[in-house]
Structure 1
Amino acid sequence: MVINRKYKNFFSILGKWVISGLIIGIVVGSATTFLLEINDYLGSVREKSGWLIGLLPLGGIILGYIYMNYGKVYFNNTLNDTAELNNLVIDSVHGNKKIPIRLGPIVYFGTFLTVFLGGSTGREGAAVQMGGSVAEAVNRLFKVNLLDTKIYIMSGISAGFGAAFGAPITGAVFGMEMTALGKIKLEAFVPCLVASFVGHFMTTAVWGHKHEEFIIQNVPELSFITFIKVIILAVIFSLLSVLYCQLRHGIQTLSEKLFKKNHMKRAFVGGIIIVVFTLIIGSQDYNGRGLQMLEQSFTGDVPPFAFLAKLVFTAVTLGTGFVGGEAIPLFFMGATLGNTLHIFFDLPISFLAALGLIAVFCGGANTPITAFLLAMEMFDGKGLEYFFIACLVSYIFSGHHGLWPSQQIYEPKSRLYSITNAATIENIEKKKKL
């Protein structure tokens, strides 16, 4: 009788996880397809209408108004600000805050507006936040207990990431790895895996969206010299991720201080700065997602300082209050820097671009397992030994910096760093300044 009760409880919980993963995957996969298709359309319209960049400051005012008037929600006397984006999702996994259901629609509109008017940003951030928003809706609808609430939010993250990049295995792990350094909550694996695969299936098989493809033409043979080169390159890529994170958060801190957290003023001025930078460069290659140059970095030469231009454009765009994802800009920076470095390291261009794409993302997101799996899914398993080493090196050498200050440090990356357990990246940064 006791054994039957145990099995009944086991299959009851497992069934709930699978069904919830299915629901989250179906909704998030469909919503992510809408995001990808509309983003592609708006991006193509902007490329044909260069004058739209002049409206970016006005777009900043509109976006700021929405966040200031409709983006702040109180639960249990705690402010939950949708302008915190992925940080709010991470805080909700840790139980510190709750995700307002309106987060998804607001970030979708904000991403569309930013991309359409020429802000330098990606899209996966919106997919992850919509995933969290949908998961929160499921939690409320079924009155889920506290432990499963956190698990389902991870599932929403997985569904959004897996659907946005066509990488379901990567998405499943990302939902568990994103929130804390040195800890993966494997209990969430079943719903995360179901949600990610279903989200990916909805995006590709049901709605027929085709993801961008980046192909490695040649992989160098395994050799000691090549491994040494890969390690050196990974260190360089990790430092680029640190430079971006520091500049992006520095601009955000400065703009909030100057304008007393007035989102409208911050984004308006940020829009003006991007317009001026665009006029100075005389090209819109670094506005929007920059997919054309990202793809070109795998096949031919790109401007030698393209990675630096994209870094500045993206840091200003997101640091002054515009919204969108940061993965694609990091892909751009890493791939174009890898392309530039091929003359110094005598390695195939496509291999270096791929290595930079993965290593810079790894250093910024602090997700080495996710980054390695992404390389395997994105590049069909080519060069797995090199990518494995590059992810580990980038993860360690990027230190305790990152895209999301709310990431908790469950365990320091290495004894090389004197970091307190259970701190957050934000706390570490504040201590450094003091």
Structure 2
Amino acid sequence: MNKIKNIKLALIPYLFKWLFLTIIVGILSGSASAIFLKLLEWATETRKTHSVLILFLPIGGLIISLAYHYFGKEVAGGNNLILTEIHEPKRVIKFRMAPLVLIGTVGTHLFGGSAGREGSAIQMGASLADQLTQIFSLNKSDRKILLISGIAAGFGSVFGTPLAGAIFGLEVFVIGKMSYEAIFPAFLSSIIADEVTRNWWHVHHSVYHVTHIPEATLLNIILASFAGIFFGLAGHLFSFSVEKVKSFLTSKVKFAPMHAFWGGLAIVLLTFLFDT
């Protein structure tokens, strides 16, 4: 009986602490996602209206890479840096990751490059959340939970999927030891961030309607299984190709920012070659 009472007493400060922290994380991440989505919408519409912008992709890529080279070496690891800090905490992620990834991704979209929004949202959410580590002098265990909350909030708010955001944030612990203490903060921060994006900033997400759902027949299940195999092989081929191209560029071009220039130039040439 006393044990149950002690657990309840310990639960109260835990709830209040993480309620307070996740509200801050949710507001910061939700606001960052809202600004990010608004700027992405502007960049996309501008690019569609002025197709000539594709010609500036090599220069745009070079400028963005130079910014990372001179001002963002400590945060250039991106998602890998965040995962490393969760599993092997060393130092607080620099705040500069958030503005660098925001400007870099929007700039890439503006000039016709390809950059996913999920990675950007995760990096913004995690870097903004990690600033609270120093402000409130959190220990390593709490910092892990804070980073997971930032990831969940960033992912959930940028796509308008708070449940998926929370689960995604918790998945980063699969490599190590699952922390049940992170479940409440992850879900709450993701929900708050989504509410901030939708209702505070009035930013709405794309809605995709599924017009046809195939029957769960044996044949369809077999076909889906084969499709999964080919999708996996395609993903593996893509990852393999990226590593090979990266290795080739690194061996031939020593100054890293020039990689983006040559990559952008290749995209421009392919765009005109295939008339897309």
Both proteins in one fold, TM over 0.5: yes
Instruction: Please tell me whether residue 207 in structure 1 is matched to residue 201 in structure 2.
Output: yes
CA shift for structure 1 position 6: 4.7
Residue 279 of structure 1 aligns to which amino acid in structure 2? F
**What is the root-mean-square deviation in Å for CA atoms of aligned residues?**
1.9
For 1:47, the equivalent position in structure 2 comes to 48
For 1:94, the equivalent position in structure 2 comes to 87
Paired residues for 1:208-287 under 5 Å: 208-260=202-254, 262-283=255-276
In 2, Cα distance between equivalents of 1:44 and 1:183: 44
Change (3 A) 1:216 1:54: same
In structure 1, runs of 5+ residues without a counterpart are 73-80, 284-434
Residue 88 of structure 1 aligns to which amino acid in structure 2? L
CA shift for structure 1 position 180: 4.0
Change (3 A) 1:252 1:187: farther
CA shift for structure 1 position 14: 2.2
CA shift for structure 1 position 158: 0.3
For 2:186, the equivalent position in structure 1 comes to 192
In 1, Cα distance between equivalents of 2:75 and 2:169: 19
In 2, Cα distance between equivalents of 1:173 and 1:31: 20
Contact 2:97–2:127 (Cα < 8 Å) also in 1: yes
For 1:326, the equivalent position in structure 2 comes to none
In 2, Cα distance between equivalents of 1:190 and 1:265: 44
Normalised to the residue count of structure 2, the TM-score between the two structures is 0.93
For 1:58, the equivalent position in structure 2 comes to 59
Change (3 A) 1:110 1:179: farther
Relative contact order (C-alpha < 8 Å, sep 6+): which is higher?
Answer: 2
Paired residues for 1:160-175 under 5 Å: 160-175=154-169
In 2, Cα distance between equivalents of 1:182 and 1:236: 29
In 2, Cα distance between equivalents of 1:184 and 1:4: 25
After superposition, what is the alpha-carbon deviation per residue over 1:121-147, rounded to whole angstroms, capped at 9, x for unaligned?
Answer: 221211100011111111111111110
SS in 2 for 1:84: coil
For 1:28, the equivalent position in structure 2 comes to 29
After superposition, what is the alpha-carbon deviation per residue over 1:225-256, rounded to whole angstroms, capped at 9, x for unaligned?
Answer: 11111111111111122122222233223323
Change (3 A) 1:47 1:184: farther
Paired residues for 1:103-118 under 5 Å: 103-118=97-112
- Aligned pair count reads 274
Change (3 A) 1:186 1:3: closer
After superposition, what is the alpha-carbon deviation per residue over 1:292-322, rounded to whole angstroms, capped at 9, x for unaligned?
Answer: xxxxxxxxxxxxxxxxxxxxxxxxxxxxxxx
CA shift for structure 1 position 201: 0.7
SS in 1 for 2:113: coil
CA shift for structure 1 position 185: 3.4
Paired residues for 1:359-374 under 5 Å: none
In 1, Cα distance between equivalents of 2:17 and 2:75: 28
Paired residues for 1:354-433 under 5 Å: none
SS in 1 for 2:232: helix
For 1:152, the equivalent position in structure 2 comes to 146
In 1, Cα distance between equivalents of 2:164 and 2:264: 34
Instruction: Please tell me whether residue 176 in structure 1 is matched to residue 170 in structure 2.
Output: yes
Normalised to the residue count of structure 1, the TM-score between the two structures is 0.60
After superposition, what is the alpha-carbon deviation per residue over 1:310-354, rounded to whole angstroms, capped at 9, x for unaligned?
Answer: xxxxxxxxxxxxxxxxxxxxxxxxxxxxxxxxxxxxxxxxxxxxx
After superposition, what is the alpha-carbon deviation per residue over 1:250-272, rounded to whole angstroms, capped at 9, x for unaligned?
Answer: 32233233323x33211111111
CA shift for structure 1 position 3: 6.9
Contact 1:177–1:183 (Cα < 8 Å) also in 2: no
Contact 2:89–2:140 (Cα < 8 Å) also in 1: no
In 2, Cα distance between equivalents of 1:237 and 1:183: 29
CA shift for structure 1 position 2: 8.0
Match of residue 75, structure 2, among 47, 63, 82: 82
Change (3 A) 1:179 1:255: farther
Select the structure that is richer in helix.
2
In 2, Cα distance between equivalents of 1:180 and 1:63: 33
Contact 2:87–2:176 (Cα < 8 Å) also in 1: no
In 1, Cα distance between equivalents of 2:179 and 2:120: 23
